[in-house]
Structure 1
Amino acid sequence: MACEATLHVPLSSAYALPLAICLLSALAVAATWRAPVAKGTSTRSRHIVLGGSLALVLTVSAGLIHQARSAHITVQGDTLTASALFVSTTIPLSAIQFGDAVDASTLALPRRKLGTSTGSVQMGRFETETGREVFALRAGAGSLRIPVRGKADLVLDRPLYEEIRACLAARQTP
């Protein structure tokens, strides 16, 4: 039996600022598009540059939204795979010390290795202040740090952790 749990990221609070910046950038590009053409500038080259800028802003916005909706954990067989868009980690269940989970609500992850950090949302690979690598999937204040032998620790939202634990318990029940 495979288990799957998705990180629930509230777009309104977590990505409000980045999406607002993208929206304002798109509006600025659109306003510039309609502005008078300066002497010596061809209309065609201006449209290419502005169109490319608008496409870039829209792509970044779509990427942020997609990332917020794609972070998940899958347990299949004897492995757990945590994924956040372009980065993932696969860990043997035997290496994960679920019973030793500790509160990570105030855990600072100052060094991003490969991931996204916007406000309270952190997804991907990070390093703690002590240099220990962690794979984080958290979108709020309540999170847990789960030690992993030989690999990066996991930092998960409490609801995500509880969902995975419940699924693993259901798998153990005959």
Structure 2
Amino acid sequence: MASIYRTVILFLMVVYSGCAPKPLPVSIPTPVPAMPGNQAYQDAEQAFENGLYAEALDGYNLFLREAYEDPFVDDALFKIGRLYRLAGRDDDAIAVFFRLNREFPESDLVPGAMLETLNILFDGGNFESVVKYGLAYIEPTDPELIRMPFFFMVADAYEAMGVHLEAARYYYRAWNTCF
């Protein structure tokens, strides 16, 4: 009987300690990203978020005319390219993405712009151009994770052209960047 009491007491202690309130995690406030003071950019961002793409395009273009020295110019160019892509103006989108790459080569948005360009070319059936521009962009880049989607895009282009051995080679290279 004594062992049953000890077991019940031990059980109650375990249950009680498991139900004890846990301390709240300490949250450190993250800094709010800086928003440019330019009203045209803010209006364009608001229009873009609300799906008013024509107004957003006008706002970003106005922003580029007013404040080309602003640090958000590369973001505006990238979004203009995406808006052209959404509107089906693929040639204009490619021109804007190449402009972003040419004028802001150190921007974090350049890999996304090049990937968008390759997607446009792939969707248009320009597989040779996908391989040419994809390989030209892959070689000088250092970070492996940035290279992976480009390897996949080049491999898909080779596959679409029927060059299966090269496609397999680039799928393998893409796979190796994952690990």
Normalising by structure 2, we get a TM-score of 0.25
Structure with the bigger percentage of helix: 2
Higher RCO (Cα < 8 Å, 6 or more apart)? 1
**TM-score normalised according to structure 1 size:** 0.26
Rg: which structure is higher?
Answer: 2
User: Which one has a larger percent strand, Structure 1 or Structure 2?
Assistant: 1
